[in-house]
Structure 1
Amino acid sequence: MTTLFIADLHLQQDTPELTQAFLDYLEYRARNAHALYIMGDLFESWIGDDAIGNFEQQIIDALRHFSDSGRHLYVMHGNRDFLLGERFAELTGAVLIDDPAIISIDEDVPVLLMHGDSLCTQDGEYMQFRAMTRDPKWQQQTLALPIEQRRQLADRMREGSGSANSSKTDDIMDVSQEAVENIMEQCHVRTLIHGHTHRPDVHDFRLHGDEVAKRYVLGDWHHARDEGWEVRLDGMTLTLERFSLSELSHH
């Protein structure tokens, strides 16, 4: 029984090679998985479940095919696709899960799943933006706008995010170790899997009670670098794996 965790694909109409890589991933690499967790930023932007064009439909159909074949599909919101809604879940056969979420491996070992952006507490400007965009009232007002207006808003937000980030230091945009330890203590877990930072790695550290803890960070998928990332759970063993996007259909 294999469970897979991925994040930060940032799929968009302008990157057809990346879209094809994801379709190949579902068809080949994830073929024998029992469950797939997509932990935020599957899409570069999502402006509402009522704005589904050919590109979005292509992804929805592939996810539906995956879930219809008896496999479990879970989707968490990211900082780019926080407007994914119940209609998307219904169309794909996915379950939308909270951020954070706790799952159990082998029935009694809890693992904490997060997108990861809420851990970047040193970036005060971003934390304010996050609080605004996660506010149900703000989301309701935004979804009430005409589709074209929402598209323009999403473009402006992406541009603003890009220019703001260009002036921030790397450590400000990374997760805060204190925030990591606090949430892990609160949730009584010793294992955390998250994405968002695009810094794939496995971090070993000690929590306040001197217990050994692990933090698995998923990398982003990148066509130019020809790399995708996943965390695989086989039995009780978690591994962070890098794979070639161009070779997915060859396996």
Structure 2
Amino acid sequence: MFISDLHLKSEDDVHTRILLRFLREEAPGAGRLFVLGDLFEAYVGDDDGDPLLAVVADALHALAAMDVEIAFVHGNRDFLLGKAFADRANMLLLPDPCVIDLAGKPVLLSHGDRYCTDDREYMRWRAQMRDRDWQSGFLGQPLAARKAFAERARAASAEHQKDLSAGISDVNAATVEGELRLFGIDTLIHGHTHRPACHQHDLGGSMARRWVLSDWRGHGEALVADERGTLSRVSLFA
């Protein structure tokens, strides 16, 4: 199963309730669960005592105890999620991008923001936020200062998105196709854009498929693979 872009805000948020029910009732039969970023609306460090983080980590740990492998790819909202949270949740932190085996076939996974190369301002911001020295300095600040920064960053992002055309805020097809050729893979699964779809890409002699995960708006959604690796979407409710 694959999910992304839940943007959880509080322990009593409707999307949190959907996630907790999903982890209890539907995910146990999955075998593997991949969370492709933006699990949280904001994440400013593993030392944050927000009850939401404990609730989600413990629910993930309970799922892992049922022999479900859980893996996480950082998003643009929770790129500071670290080893302490991952250990509590008993989940594996994966690089972005990464390759997994799905029913004997290699599949490329990513949060997806790395492909939005037409938005040059965002890509500059992304490079800074992913810099290890910047992260170390940021995490050394008081928790209150980090939370205030996150609030300002979200507001700035919302304003930035208002000024973008649909094309600029989406992935760049050439960037996607270049990475698929580099890895020699014909299937990509990612989130980030909040534009769920399945796209076809011509790699020059072969076709590739790009699955875009849904964000959670009112209800949740998961991309599910059967034993043959066939993918389909499932809606999730509280």
Normalising by the smaller structure, the TM-score range is over 0.9
Matches of 1:28 and 1:175 in 2, distance apart?
A: 34
> Matches of residues 65-80 of structure 1 in structure 2 within 5 Å?
65-80=62-77
Task: From 206, 209, 226, give the equivalent of 1:211.
Answer: 206
Residue type of the partner of 1:149?
A
Q: How many residues align?
A: 238
Instruction: Answer whether contact 2:177 2:201 (CA < 8 A) is retained.
Output: no
For structure 2, the residue ranges without an aligned partner over 5 or more in a row are none
Matches of 1:177 and 1:130 in 2, distance apart?
A: 19
Displacement of 1:205 = 2.6
Counterpart of 2:226 in structure 1 is: 234
Displacement of 1:188 = 0.8
> Matches of residues 17-166 of structure 1 in structure 2 within 5 Å?
17-107=14-104, 109-166=105-162
Cα deviations across residues 52-77 of structure 1 (Å, max 9, x unaligned)?
32121111110110111211000110
Percent of aligned positions that are identical: 37
Displacement of 1:240 = 3.4
Q: Which moved more, 1:48-57 or 1:19-28?
A: 48-57
Runs of 4+ in structure 1 deviating by more than 3 angstroms, as ranges, are none
Q: TM-score, normalised by structure 2?
A: 0.97
Alpha-carbon distance change, 38 to 244 in structure 1, aligned in 2, over 3 angstroms: closer
Instruction: Answer whether contact 1:229 1:240 (CA < 8 A) is retained.
Output: no
Taking only aligned residues, the RMSD between alpha carbons, in angstroms, comes to 1.2
Alpha-carbon distance change, 129 to 78 in structure 1, aligned in 2, over 3 angstroms: same
Task: From 175, 182, 188, give the equivalent of 1:192.
Answer: 188
Matches of 2:172 and 2:131 in 1, distance apart?
A: 23
Alpha-carbon distance change, 61 to 244 in structure 1, aligned in 2, over 3 angstroms: closer
Residue type of the partner of 1:167?
D
Counterpart of 1:245 in structure 2 is: 237
